[in-house]
Amino acid sequence: MRRVLVLHGPNLSLLGRREPETYGRTTLREIDEALKELAGHLGLEVRCEQFEGEGEMVTALHGALGDCQAVLINPAAYTHTSLAIRDALAALSDLGIPSVEVHLSQPAARESFRHTSLTAPVCRGSIAGFGPNSYLLGLRALAAILDREVRSDA
């Protein structure tokens, strides 16, 4: 079974309560449950993790090597600040593990400091602004990427 690491960044543990006008009322647990359900339909298995700390996220990304075939990541605020997470994603990409970046809100429509993503350039793609559906769209994109790579290896 192909496994996808779903990595949630800081403050996402407060979803459903934190700034609902921006992030909605769906909780992180509900997002993870929806991802697990969709993964089953796509022939995938997801391992969902949430960390507040940058170093913990980097460690989790390193742990994906040998355990996961792809990464779905919402780096949250670290999207705009973390070279360490960017470099970990780039290393995974170099080793054949694709990633897709997702965001609940649309960073480009928010404060100017959110307009630059350090992580997006090393991901296969980014999906933003669709609330919890951003995660589901991202998982579908990864399934298509993995399917395409299996076909090209055959």
The sign of the CA dihedral 116, 102, 11, 19 is positive
What's the pLDDT at 32?
A: 98
- At residue 3, the pLDDT reads 98
Whether residue 41 lies in the annotated active site: no
Domain housing 78 = 2-153
Per-residue pLDDT, 113: 58
Q: Residue 149: what pLDDT?
A: 81
Please tell me the distance from the alpha carbon of residue 84 to that of residue 133, in angstroms, as a whole number: 27
Residue 129: give its domain's CATH number: 3.40.50.9100
103 assigned to active site: yes
pTM: 0.91
pLDDT score, position 14: 87
As averages over each run of 10 residues, the pLDDT of the chain (154 residues) reads 96 84 84 98 98 97 96 93 96 97 76 72 94 97 91 60
Which of 8, 23, 78, 135 is catalytic? The answer is 23
From 8, 78, 103, 135, active-site residue = 103
| pLDDT for residue 47 | 97
CA neighbours closer than 13 Å in the CB half-sphere of residue 25: 0
Q: How many domains does the chain have?
A: 1
